[in-house]
């Protein structure tokens, strides 16, 4: 993120004007392809938007997903900046790579003022998209609300009750078809031409040799539509005349997963333990006042819904003192052993989020900062989640974070994640684009994954996001939160000298290979005997992406950042666990 983009997102018009006078690049983009104009439009900074337009900013520049400044303004309901863009000639019908226009995204996100504005300026009220995220199509199956009479469909507001999981329902509007053809030149082209002639647009195609003959190939394809689609019967008739076999296929059964960020509301309270409940060996187990304090803070998580602002906590003087002891100690050690990205980000968090020895920063401020940097947000949690639910949230760039702090009697020890771990260990790294993308990859890979794959992904997460190391200038540096929030283990893992972290021995270091890390055993109550070391954060991200792409998941996923949703490329049935599995 450039200084101009940051100033534009914050609405610091005078700062932006100064930067422009000093030659700041007007069309520079951040990691998601947003320019300063798009950032100002997305945050509703009208004065800054006006300045950038007057300075000649490209009004039609597109981000990595094809989003224009008008699109992002409408996606977030910034009707004032949207009006400025429209008055300056912004294209009403510009589409993203997934086929969404500003009007469609405003409708799907229930942005009433933006919809009215676009219609007033002549937006096509009959606009459609065959590539609308499946989650949006499913959520908007019934016309409700203000735009129902006009033929618009939109989802519930974030305050509405989360939709119930449907057992056995086909996800989205995909149809699966299998056909078999002879292995000869032009055979596949002929079949695809038939589909194109019937207006069928494929979302997925997969091939494999048949077991019966090496001269035959089976193809599995998926396309937008329903089994009742009038195009289907004539298309099948033509296909059967040109193939050995052509038949519809059943949708694939996969474990349930969220398709929209608001779906996280369904499982956020389904924790494996309660954050207010303590084990007998916890330092605060016998402290009734501390336990009651935890219960009060945990309530923030149980009532939180997607789109809410995280409640602020008024921390006591004793809690701030505990934080200060941890903060000063960790700042000393992270200056020595943290990756450079962490050390560059921490001063920004001190400036913008209130990180200080005498102040516990608020999760709401940190979440806002992270969202502007990489699209990640924090969400309060009431206890320990299952690995599947925790990883699924990462797919939507959502990180579950506690708001309570460890017991004051042992400020340098905690048997569980607390705000020191979350805010000193995790939060700063989520502002780094490479680390954010790394975490997002793991989350996307977890959607619909088997239990075995979830276990392997969770283990990769442990050895990277929690205890990962990478090389910088020939030295091992930490990027994992478990290390960055524990000065003793941080020194043990990174220092070339001994004793370190109160130990005389050295751990074992292995190169970062996710397929190896995925099956590595580990303890949870002692220093790690094994650490995985990447060549760089970029290397860690690329290797994790390669590993995720190699997982045997029967469908592909695409993330749409402006609707906080995912779309899939084939017909699925998201299956609920059986009741006895839930009770286990």
Of 79, 426, 440, 489, the active-site residue reads 426
All structural domains of the chain, each given as residue ranges with its CATH number in brackets, are 3-150 (1.25.40.20), 170-255 (3.30.70.260), 261-562 (1.10.800.10)
Q: Is 421 within any annotated ligand binding site?
A: yes
Report the DSSP pairing between strands 572-575 and 170-171: antiparallel
**Residues belonging to the chain:** 584
The string over 80-89, giving b where at least 16 C-beta atoms fall within 10 Å of a residue's C-beta and e elsewhere, is ebbbbbbeee
Q: Is 371 within any annotated ligand binding site?
A: no
Of 65, 437, 485, 564, the active-site residue reads 485
Of 171, 466, 489, 560, the active-site residue reads 466
269 has pLDDT over 90: no
Mean pLDDT computed over every residue of the chain: 86
Give yes or no: 426 in active site. yes
Higher local confidence (pLDDT), 323 or 584: 323
Q: Residue 376: its pLDDT value, please?
A: 97
Q: Which residues pair with 560 in a beta bridge?
A: 565
Give yes or no: 485 in active site. yes
127 has pLDDT over 60: yes
Tokens, residue 461: 């997460």
- Please, are residues 147 and 107 in contact by the beta-carbon 8 Å criterion? yes
147 has pLDDT over 60: no
485 has pLDDT over 90: yes
Q: Residue 223: its pLDDT value, please?
A: 85
**Distance (Å, rounded) from C-alpha 124 to C-alpha 93?**
8
90 torsion bin: left (phi>0), alpha (psi -120 to 50), beta (else): beta
What would the mean pLDDT of 392-399 be, rounded to a whole number?
A: 97
Q: Residue 150: its pLDDT value, please?
A: 26
pLDDT band at 388 (very low <50, low <70, confident <90, very high): very high
Nearest CA to 232 among 217, 249, 219, 244? Answer: 249
Higher local confidence (pLDDT), 96 or 131: 96
**Distance (Å, rounded) from C-alpha 560 to C-alpha 99?**
11
Q: Residue 54: its pLDDT value, please?
A: 95
- Please, are residues 175 and 222 in contact by the beta-carbon 8 Å criterion? yes
- Please, are residues 182 and 219 in contact by the beta-carbon 8 Å criterion? no
Q: What percent of the chain has pLDDT over 70?
A: 89
Q: What is the pLDDT of residues 196-231, one digit of tens each?
A: 888 887 888 888 788 767 788 889 888 888 888 888
Nearest CA to 413 among 319, 298, 283? Answer: 283
- Please, are residues 251 and 571 in contact by the beta-carbon 8 Å criterion? yes
Secondary structure (DSSP) of 478-514: E--HHHHT-HHHHHHHH-SSSSBTTBSS--EEEE--H
**Distance (Å, rounded) from C-alpha 148 to C-alpha 444?**
33
Q: Residue 277: its pLDDT value, please?
A: 66
Higher local confidence (pLDDT), 178 or 363: 363
pLDDT band at 576 (very low <50, low <70, confident <90, very high): confident
Q: Residue 460: its pLDDT value, please?
A: 98
Q: Residue 401: its pLDDT value, please?
A: 96
Of 421, 440, 446, 560, the active-site residue reads 421
Q: Residue 97: its pLDDT value, please?
A: 78
CB atoms within 10 A of CB 212: 9
Give yes or no: 466 in active site. yes
Q: Is 426 within any annotated ligand binding site?
A: yes
What would the mean pLDDT of 379-394 be, rounded to a whole number?
A: 93
**Distance (Å, rounded) from C-alpha 203 to C-alpha 175?**
10
Q: Which residues pair with 252 in a beta bridge?
A: 572
Give the 3-state secondary structure of residue 533. Answer: strand
579 has pLDDT over 60: no
């Amino acid at each position: 993120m450039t200084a101009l983009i940051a100033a534009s997102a914050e609405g610091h018009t005078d700062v932006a004007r100064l930067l422009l006078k000093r030659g700041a690049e007007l069309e520079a983009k951040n990691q998601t392809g947003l320019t300063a104009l798009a950032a100002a439009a997305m945050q509703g900074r009208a004065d800054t938007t006006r300045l950038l337009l007057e300075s000649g900013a490209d009004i039609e520049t597109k981000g990595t997903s094809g989003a224009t400044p008008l699109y992002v303004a409408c996606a977030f309901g910034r009707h004032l900046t949207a009006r400025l863009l429209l008055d300056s000639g912004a294209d009403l019908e510009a589409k993203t790579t997934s086929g969404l226009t500003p009007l469609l995204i405003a409708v799907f996100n229930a942005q009433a003022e933006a919809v009215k504005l676009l219609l007033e300026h002549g937006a096509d009220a009959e606009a459609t998209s065959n590539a609308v995220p499946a989650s949006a199509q499913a959520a908007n199956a019934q016309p409700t609300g203000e735009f129902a009479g006009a033929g618009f469909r939109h989802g519930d507001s974030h305050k509405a009750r989360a939709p119930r999981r449907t057992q056995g329902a086909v996800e989205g509007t995909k149809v699966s078809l299998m056909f078999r053809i002879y292995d000869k030149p032009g055979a596949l082209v002929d079949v695809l031409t038939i589909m194109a002639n019937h207006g069928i647009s494929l979302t997925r195609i997969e091939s494999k040799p048949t077991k019966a003959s090496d001269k035959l190939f089976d193809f599995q394809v998926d396309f937008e539509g329903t089994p009742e689609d009038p195009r289907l019967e004539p298309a099948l008739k033509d296909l059967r005349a040109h193939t050995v076999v052509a038949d519809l296929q059943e949708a694939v059964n996969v474990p349930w997963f969220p398709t929209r960020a608001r779906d996280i509301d369904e499982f956020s309270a389904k924790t494996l333990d309660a954050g207010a409940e303590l084990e007998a060996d916890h330092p605060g187990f016998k402290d009734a006042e501390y336990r009651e304090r935890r219960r009060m803070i945990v309530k923030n998580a149980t009532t939180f819904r997607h789109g809410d602002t995280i409640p602020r906590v008024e921390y006591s003087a004793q809690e701030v003192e505990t934080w200060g002891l941890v903060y000063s100690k960790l700042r000393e050690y992270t200056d020595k052993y943290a990756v450079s990205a962490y050390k560059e980000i921490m001063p920004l968090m001190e400036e913008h989020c209130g990180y200080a020895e005498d102040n516990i920063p608020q999760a709401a401020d940190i979440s806002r900062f992270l969202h502007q940097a990489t699209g990640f947000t924090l969400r309060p949690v009431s206890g320990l989640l299952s690995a599947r639910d925790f990883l699924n949230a990462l797919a939507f760039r959502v990180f579950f974070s506690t708001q309570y702090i460890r017991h004051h009697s042992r400020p340098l020890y905690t048997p569980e994640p607390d705000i020191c771990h979350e805010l000193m260990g995790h939060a700063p790294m989520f502002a780094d684009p490479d680390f954010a993308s790394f975490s997002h990859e793991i989350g996307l890979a977890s959607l619909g994954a088997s239990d075995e794959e979830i276990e392997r992904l969770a283990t990769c997460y442990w050895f990277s996001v929690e205890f990962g190391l990478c090389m910088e200038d020939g030295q091992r540096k930490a990027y994992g939160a478990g290390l960055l929030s524990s000065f003793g283990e941080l020194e043990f893992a990174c220092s070339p000298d001994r004793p370190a972290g109160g130990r005389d021995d050295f751990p074992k270091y292995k190169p970062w290979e996710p397929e190896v890390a995925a099956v590595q055993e580990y303890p949870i109550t002692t220093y790690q005997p094994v650490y995985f070391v990447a060549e760089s954060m970029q290397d860690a991200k690329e290797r994790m992406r390669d590993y995720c792409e190699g997982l045997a998941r029967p469908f592909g996923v695409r993330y749409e950042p402006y609707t906080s949703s995912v779309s899939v490329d084939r017909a699925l049935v998201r299956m609920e666990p059986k009741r006895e599995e839930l009770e286990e």
